[in-house]
Structure formats: C-alpha cells, structure tokens
C-alpha cells in the first residue's frame, strides 16, 4: 500500500506459519491476529452475496476421519465464502476403508495439486504428523484428545464479544476434560490471553497434571458456578469412554449438570458456552442451553468467521513454501 504512508507505520503483523495444529504453539499476538481478522469476516456472512474472492483458485480438501456435522459444515462454508474450491473426503466411502495410510491418502491428494488440508482424526497428533510430511497448509479440525484449535478460537472470540476482553476473565471448563481436545485448546488460548481457568468435573475425568499450568481444580459444580464469569460446558464423550468413568448419566446430571436452579444461586449472571453437540439433560439442561445467558448459537456463527480468518491468514502466509509468481512486483508495490 505504497500510497498509504503519511501516518505512523504500525508493526508488521506476525505470520501464522504454514499450519494450524494447535493453540499451544501460537503466541498471544498470533491468537489476537486471528481474532482481529475474524471481525471483518463476520460482516461477509451478513451480506446478500456471502462471498469474497480472497481464496479464488485455491483447492482445499476436508479430510474427515471422524463424524462431524458442525465443524465440517462450518469449514466448508468458510472455504466457500472465500471462493476456494473444496472437496470433502470421509473415511467411509474412500480408500481409507481399504486400509490406505494417512500419509498415502494425503500424498495422493497432493499429487492432484491441492493447497490446503483440513483434517479431523481420532488419533492425537495426526494433524502434526501430516503437517510435517506434506507441503500443503494443514489445519487441525480436531485430533483425538489433543487439540481443536478453531473451536478454541471461536470460544475466545465469543467470550471477547460478550465481555470485551479475555484478560482477567474467569472461565470454568466443566465436565469431561480428560477426553476433550476442546478443553485443551481453550486452556492454551485462555492462558495465553491472560484469563484464569478452572476445571470442574468428576475426579475420573479431570487430569490433575494441569494444576501445574495454574489451572484451578474445583471439584463441585456449585463452587465453579460461584467462581466463574463464564462456563464452558463440555460434552460427555460417551463414544470415547471405556466403562467406569461415571456411575450413570442420571447421576452425572444430578451432581455435575448445569441446571437453571444452580445458575440462579450464582452471585452473578454467567455466560454459558457449549461446543456441541449437546447431551441435553446430561451435562446441560435444556432451559440453560436455550436460556438468555447461552451463547451456544453465537459460537456457531463465530465459528465460520474464525475459520475464514485462519484460512485467509494461512493462504497469505508461509513464504518459505511459496515463491512469488514470475514477473510479480516486489513486496508492497503491487497496489496503489
């Protein structure tokens, strides 16, 4: 923007690098860059024509080895609203069901000249594994119990919308932390941006080691509600549980369920987040999920904006992987 001089030249925003594997690897500055970039993308989804040409000509593969509705559709909307071409691959109905390895699948896709891979996989570390082996940008859409960075980012954006800041907020992450990549991504993002984090849930589902990171361990849900500004209520991941973590769903709801009664006894009004899909009547009651303090649907709306921001920043970054087009002008002079 050679003609925009005259004002003070701000510091150059930090790059994201080639991939988004987790929030643990990002700096606070990089997380803020993504959240700030997501703001203008909210407006794109409000337009009559919900599309901008930023990623025109880019090809993105959504590689989903695990069931997903919200995340897959949200990524697909984000990609389409940026004008990228998208292909969806799921484990059933593809060569994966014939025993092809993850790397072979990805390399074959790459041989078709793709630019980005969005991957969801049941194994922790799958996204990092892929990222280090292919040239395309890799975005982690959830890997095992490791991270789900775009969910963490959309939760941060939703909290920032609601409170105007993250720093100093008290956020209690409630329920099945053990099996939750959402909890881990939230934890890293919140700590880096200066929030206080507490875990609350049955002892069998709360990894105690996190206390070393400064996480408060609050055993009773009533105490967590009294402490927190916001509750992030996790889904009880019944499909990941071997037997024995909790006695029964009914008992879980009775002891740890986020109910209207419990919220009414809180000293202040809480903001309630849930990453979905909800087990209504287990970790959260319907009148809370649909109540005035729930930001569960704004979370979904923000998910598209955050994913657009991540796709856009990764596509524009990574100079070590992309040489400028022949004949292109040097940096900063291509525009008026």
Partner 1 sequence: MPSVTRLLDGPAVTQTLVRMAGEVVERCGTEGLVLVGIQRRGVELANRLARLIEQVEPSSNIPLGKLDITLYRDDLSTIGPRPRVGETSIPVELEGRTVVLVDDVLYTGRTVRAALDELADFGRPRRILLAVLVDRGGRELPVQPDLVGISVATTLDDRVDVAVRELDGKDLVELVSGAPL
Binding interface with partner 1 (CB under 8 A): 1-7, 12-13, 15, 33, 36-37, 39-41, 43-44, 47-49, 51-55, 82, 312-313, 315-317, 319, 322, 324-325, 328, 331-336
Which residue's CB is nearer to partner 1, number 273 or number 311? 311
Which residue's CB is nearer to partner 1, number 154 or number 233? 154
In whole angstroms, how close is the CB of 191 to partner 1 at the nearest point?
Answer: 25
Contact 235, 175 (CB under 8 A): yes
**Other C-beta atoms lying within 10 Å of the C-beta of residue 24:** 16
Residue written as tokens 């969910």? 151
> From the candidates 145, 146, 148, 235, which is the catalytic residue?
148
In whole angstroms, how close is the CB of 331 to partner 1 at the nearest point?
Answer: 4
In whole angstroms, how close is the CB of 29 to partner 1 at the nearest point?
Answer: 12
Number of helices (H) and strands (E) in the chain: give both, helices first.
Answer: 11, 9
> From the candidates 42, 59, 70, 301, which is the catalytic residue?
70
In whole angstroms, how close is the CB of 81 to partner 1 at the nearest point?
Answer: 10
Give the C-alpha separation, 205 to 209, whole Å: 12
In whole angstroms, how close is the CB of 30 to partner 1 at the nearest point?
Answer: 11
Which residue's CB is nearer to partner 1, number 15 or number 73? 15
> From the candidates 120, 179, 184, 307, which is the catalytic residue?
120
Distance of CA 198 to the CA centre of its chain: 19
Give the C-alpha separation, 94 to 106, whole Å: 12
Is residue 120 flagged as an active site residue?
yes
Q: Residue 75: which of 124, 118, 11, 29 has the closest Cα?
A: 118
> From the candidates 18, 37, 71, 262, which is the catalytic residue?
71
Which residue's CB is nearer to partner 1, number 277 or number 319? 319
Classify 126 as helix, strand or coil: helix
Is residue 250 flagged as an active site residue?
no
Tell me the pairing of strands 137-143 and 116-121: parallel
Residue 152's Cβ-side half-sphere holds a number of Cα atoms within 13 Å equal to 30
Give the C-alpha separation, 174 to 201, whole Å: 6
Give the C-alpha separation, 132 to 139, whole Å: 12
Which residue's CB is nearer to partner 1, number 3 or number 92? 3
Is residue 274 flagged as an active site residue?
no
Active site residues: 70-71, 98, 120, 148
């Amino acid at each position: 923007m050679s003609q925009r001089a005259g004002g003070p030249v701000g510091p150059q925003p930090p790059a994201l690098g080639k991939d988004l594997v987790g929030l643990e690897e990002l700096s606070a500055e990089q997380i803020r860059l993504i959240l700030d970039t997501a703001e203008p993308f909210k407006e794109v989804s409000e337009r009559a024509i919900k599309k901008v040409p930023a990623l025109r000509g880019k090809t993105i593969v959504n590689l989903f080895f695990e069931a997903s509705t919200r995340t897959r559709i949200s990524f697909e909307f984000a990609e389409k609203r940026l004008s990228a071409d998208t292909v969806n691959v799921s484990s059933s109905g593809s060569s994966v069901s014939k025993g092809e390895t993850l790397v072979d699948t990805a390399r074959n896709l790459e041989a078709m000249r793709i630019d980005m891979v969005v991957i969801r996989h049941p194994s922790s570390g799958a996204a990092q594994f892929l990222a280090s082996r292919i040239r395309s940008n890799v975005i982690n859409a959830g890997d095992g119990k490791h991270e789900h960075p775009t969910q963490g980012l959309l939760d941060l954006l939703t909290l920032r919308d609601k409170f105007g800041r993250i720093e100093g907020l008290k956020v209690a992450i409630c329920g099945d932390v053990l099996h939750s990549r959402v909890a881990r991504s939230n934890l890293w993002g919140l700590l880096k941006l200066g929030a206080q984090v507490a875990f609350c849930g049955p002892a069998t589902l709360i990894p105690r080691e996190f206390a070393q990171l400064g996480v408060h361990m609050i055993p009773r849900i009533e105490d967590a509600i009294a402490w927190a500004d916001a509750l992030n209520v996790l889904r009880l991941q019944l499909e990941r549980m071997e037997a024995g973590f909790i006695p029964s769903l009914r008992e879980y709801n009775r002891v740890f369920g986020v109910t209207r009664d419990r919220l009414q006894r809180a000293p202040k009004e809480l903001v309630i987040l849930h990453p979905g899909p909800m087990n209504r009547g287990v970790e959260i009651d319907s009148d809370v999920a649909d109540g005035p303090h729930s930001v569960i649907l704004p979370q979904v709306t923000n998910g598209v904006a955050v994913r657009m921001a991540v796709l856009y920043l990764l596509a524009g970054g990574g100079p070590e992987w992309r040489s400028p087009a022949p004949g292109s002008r040097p940096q900063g002079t291509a525009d008026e």
